[in-house]
Structure formats: structure tokens, C-alpha cells
Structure 1
């Protein structure tokens, strides 16, 4: 395991059992001003995560001791830190598994370091984004029945209990909510929230899984949603909010 001595920007944890990948990413990300720590297996990754509290995790799927799925699942028990999965698995369902467990995005191996760096910048930018929106109360608080959404603090409560959302989940909710009644295609959502244009149809599955996760956390009946609706033939929209 290694670490930069003087953090200059966000801290990134690289988890991969291939030494060459760890070295390349550590060098490139350090040059870009990030503080980088790395681990070669899942157990070491969890130990480093608890020690350094990184701002983002780049996580390989196939690793000894504990695979990336297990690491992702464990981290999501207590943290909403952004996670980008690295996967060489060819089956689409294998890629989707990481997203269903709480990953924010995934990159296929072999990958371009520039592409991964762009994904990292995009995820961190969205997670840190704090903005104001037209048509939203000055308080930034939106009440939808038993759901309270605080756009300023990026928090959601249901029945007065905090609903744990990842940064990307909240950014997706924020996009749909602040333009309620407007339908968005999956490609538009991917571009606006994740910051890249889909090259393959499967890329938009990132959006579908995040929508499913949001519905599971917010809807009373996720299979028959009242808030986050499917726009037939288009994508998704948030129900139009009635004016008080």
C-alpha cells in the first residue's frame, strides 16, 4: 500500500490486484493533483478506506481475498463516497451488479486512463455541486407528502428519517426534480449527470439502475411509482409538482 505524503486535492483510493494499473493510475492522478492511496486486494482496501476516508474509490471487480462487489457492498453500509468500478467481465449482468450494489459508474477493461480521469472529474464535480434553481423555494426545501428534500444540504428524508443517497443518486434526483414534468432521454441524463455521451446502448443502463435505486428508496411501491415516472419511448421524468 502507498500514499502521497502531502494531499493537494481530493484523495482517491485505487484498488486493483494488477501492480501495473496501480502504478499508472497513481502516477497520472498524482500529476493531476490528487492524493492517491492504493490497495491490491479487497481486505486491504477496506482497511485503507477506514484509515484515510478517501473522496472517491476506483475499484476493480476481480480481486483476491474479497472481490470488488464485496468491497462496494461493505462501503455502502456506512458511506456514500463515489465508487467507480473497473471490470473486465464481458456479461452485461456482471457490470450491472456493481451498480445495483451502489457503484456510481463503471469503466470496462482495458480502459483509457484519460477516460477514467474524465469520469473521476465528472463524478467529483457532480457530487460537490451546490447550486440554486429557478422555481425552487428560497429555502431549497421541497416537500412531497412524507418526503422532504433539501437541495442545499443534498439530503432527503422520508417519514422524518434520513434516506441515504449517493452523490450521483442525488444529482439524478436533482435534475429530474428541478425540471419536474419534463421528460429526459437516458442519453441526456447520462450526459448531464455523468458527464459523457453513451457510445453503446448498454452505457445507458447506468441510468436505469440508478432510477431503480432511487425508486426503491423513495417510492412507496417502486414497481408502480408515483414520483419518478417512465416516459414511454423517451426516458424518465419527475411528476409535475402542483403549485400550492
Structure 2
């Protein structure tokens, strides 16, 4: 069941999670923690079945191992992003930075390095699901028109960014970072401020995750570190929205 009826006939949504891990014992351990925390959980042990179950389940979150047999986690994430905007947390036993960056470049929202605490993983997933898709202030401010930065339009209620009239294919997290910056157009936001605004106060992890998402956001907007038209770096402080000449 996806919903539970309360006394006043309102439905409380039960979050759906897909755990994709080829180590059966670890998969069941994570699934057990999620089930205990109130998730509806499915488990897959390889990439092909993971994609099939993702289409069937339409999960809210996917816990995805990088080193899967057959179709690896990178390719699963790449294909997943063609039909789902669920949150994706990558699991990796390899600590090299390249793994983390590659995983995030195909649309993952976060990563966890093995070994990890299942309890902390569940807490991180819960924090993701608590993210407000549109804040009250954003909705009020953007009820009539989108935020405009040059030829970039940021429509917060529609959760859509358009560049020159064309929709930019951003992940949830990339859009949330862009919206957080656009909502405060005169403010330079530190990594800590962006983590608070996008990931929530309970998030625990590497704050350089912000830099990775900013880098991929810039790529999709046609920005670069040298030519910063929309997301600008304020050296030693953080990031701000704005046009660069």
C-alpha cells in the first residue's frame, strides 16, 4: 500500500525506496532499516532488474551501488534519469574522488562511501524527502512570473528552468541549488548556507558536494569556471546568482 488512511480521511504518503546492491546481506540490512522506518521497499541485485523495478515501483528514493555486475551503477543512474526524477544516493566501496564526481555527473544527488551506518543513510534519505519543493516565500514571489537572469528563466512553482526559451534538463538537486541562489539574488551563499537551504539542517556529509552540483549546473547552463554568466563564484566566500559580462 502507498497510503494510510487517518481518522479524517486524509492519506499519509508512504515513501517508496528501491535498494540496488549486489551484496545480498547488505541489501537486506539496508532494506530492513528502511522498512522499520516506514518505507515501502523493493530490492534489486543487478542493474537490469533495478531499472525494471524502478519503472514498476516509481520510487521516491533509490539507494544505488556503483559496482553492480552487468550494467553498473553509473549506467543505471543514467538510464533512470530518462524516466524518473527520484532522489538517488550512490554507494561506493572506492574512495577515489573520480568515482564520486562521475556518479554525481549522471544525476545522483548524494553519495555514501562504504562502510557506512544504515541508520545514518536512512536519516539522510529522510532529510532529502523533507526538502520543500517550493517554499511559501518562493511560491508567493513567483506566482506571477519567473525569476529572470539574462536569458535564463527560473520558474520555481513549475520546478523548471528555461534558457533562451528552451527547458534545461536539471535534476531535482541541481534545480534546488539554482532556485536557492535565485531566491536570494543579492546574497553570496556559502556552501554551508546552500547545504542548509537545499539538503536541510540534518544533512551530514562532505560540503564539497555543493561544488560538484554547481559544476554540473554550470555545464547545463553553458557556463564555465572562466565564463560565469549565471552562477558566479565569489572567491573565498561562495556562490551567487547573476549575469557576468
TM-score (norm 2): 0.86
Instruction: Report whether the alignment pairs 1:41 with 2:36.
Output: no
Do the aligned residues in 2 keep the contact of 1:216 with 1:222 (CA within 8 Å)?
no
Return the alpha-carbon distance in structure 2 between the equivalents of residues 140 and 204 of structure 1: 32
Provide the secondary structure at the position in 2 that maps to 1:204.
coil
Instruction: Report whether the alignment pairs 1:212 with 2:193.
Output: no
Aligned equivalent of 2:2, options 7, 11, 20: 7
Give matches, 1:51-66, under 5 Å.
Answer: 51-66=56-71
Aligned equivalent of 1:86, options 83, 87, 91: 91
Return the alpha-carbon distance in structure 2 between the equivalents of residues 125 and 218 of structure 1: 27
Provide the secondary structure at the position in 2 that maps to 1:133.
helix
| Cα deviation 1:190-230 (Å, max 9, x = unaligned) | 2332235666xxx1231111101111222466641111100
Give matches, 1:90-239, under 5 Å.
Answer: 90-126=95-131, 128-133=132-137, 136-139=141-144, 141-195=146-200, 196=202, 203-219=206-222, 223-239=226-242
What stretches of structure 1 of length at least 5 have no aligned partner?
Answer: 1-5
Aligned residue pair count: 231
Change (3 A) 1:138 1:46: closer
| Cα deviation 1:110-142 (Å, max 9, x = unaligned) | 11112111211122222x522232793442522
Deviation at 1:52, TM superposition (A): 1.6
Return the alpha-carbon distance in structure 2 between the equivalents of residues 191 and 89 of structure 1: 27
What stretches of structure 2 of length at least 5 have no aligned partner?
Answer: 4-13
Return the alpha-carbon distance in structure 2 between the equivalents of residues 145 and 132 of structure 1: 25
Moved more, 139-148 or 222-231: 139-148
Provide the secondary structure at the position in 2 that maps to 1:38.
strand
Provide the secondary structure at the position in 1 that maps to 2:161.
strand
Return the alpha-carbon distance in structure 2 between the equivalents of residues 87 and 62 of structure 1: 7
Return the alpha-carbon distance in structure 2 between the equivalents of residues 35 and 136 of structure 1: 36
Do the aligned residues in 2 keep the contact of 1:59 with 1:85 (CA within 8 Å)?
yes
- 1:22 corresponds to: 27
Deviation at 1:105, TM superposition (A): 0.3
RMSD: 2.1
Aligned equivalent of 1:76, options 81, 87, 90: 81
Moved more, 77-86 or 130-139: 130-139
